[in-house]
Amino acid sequence: MQNNMEPITTKTRGRNPDWSYDETVLLMELYLSAPRAERNHPEVIALSLLLRAAGRRGGRAVLASFRNPAGIAMRLRNFGKHDPAAPKGRDAGLRPGGQVDRRVWQDFGSDHAALMAEVARVRRSISADDWMPQGRSSRGPSPSFGSRTTVVDDGRCGVYLLLIDGPIEILAPKIDVIKGHALVKLGRTFDLDRRMSELASGLPPCASISYVPISFRVFNTSTDAHRFEQYLLGICDQNGWSLGGEFAYVPLDALKREMVRAWPLDD
């Protein structure tokens, strides 16, 4: 197994850079759960957001095509050419991924526990440095009094599933640790990238706690997004996973499956 691999980097001109080892580790995790995921799959969208944020590290510019959902969906098919269990002839017109794909498959193809440990390391390395608030104090608007008029427009809105990464004994000291469970936050937003920055601003600088996007499902209206969010929160309540508000301690794979459930539900 390899450690301290090359960082996720970008080029500001020409073609996009080749995928790094760390990026491909996250791709393999997605492949094992959704090998045929398309560009609108909630986990594809979340992975794209995560990798693009890492690509912008240090103020670097990224191309519009850099690790976008369509590109990730195609990379899944390339990566699957290394899978000995994949049906023969599937995606016959595609060539297999390159050397980094082979290295990642060799390292983790038969060791899922090691893969998940490496996934955690990569996520932590990204979320520790990205979406961080500016290094200055917060300055809100001045107080105002009197009545206000609000005009609400409906439009596309998404429901997000975020992993809250950090020491569980600090985050939720009264929780009994259960294998496969994770501390998560559910919510709605029109712009997940902006929401991630807002959440980072709610944490002390250099905190050992971070939010990591796991899944993001987009709806055509905020009404549908609200209904779906309430559905997910209801599942958490029914199963005793809810911690109150938008927070829950859940079997992560189970909630990820709910994020792609057909919607609206049949009566």
End-to-end alpha-carbon separation of the chain, Å? Answer: 49
Beta strand spans in 59-200 (E): 157-165, 181-189
Task: For residue 164, give the 3-state DSSP assignment.
Answer: strand
pLDDT at 92: 54
**DSSP type of residue 85:** T
User: How far is it, in rounded angstroms, from Cα 55 to Cα 229?
Assistant: 29
Cβ contacts of 146 within 8 Å, gap of 6 or more: none
- pLDDT string in tens for the chain (267-residue length): 444 444 555 444 568 899 999 999 999 999 999 999 999 999 999 999 999 999 988 778 899 999 999 999 999 998 988 888 877 766 655 666 689 999 999 999 999 999 999 999 999 888 766 776 555 555 566 777 777 776 666 689 999 999 999 888 888 888 899 999 999 999 999 999 999 988 888 777 667 788 999 999 999 999 999 999 999 999 999 999 999 999 999 999 999 999 999 888 754
- Read off the pTM: 0.84
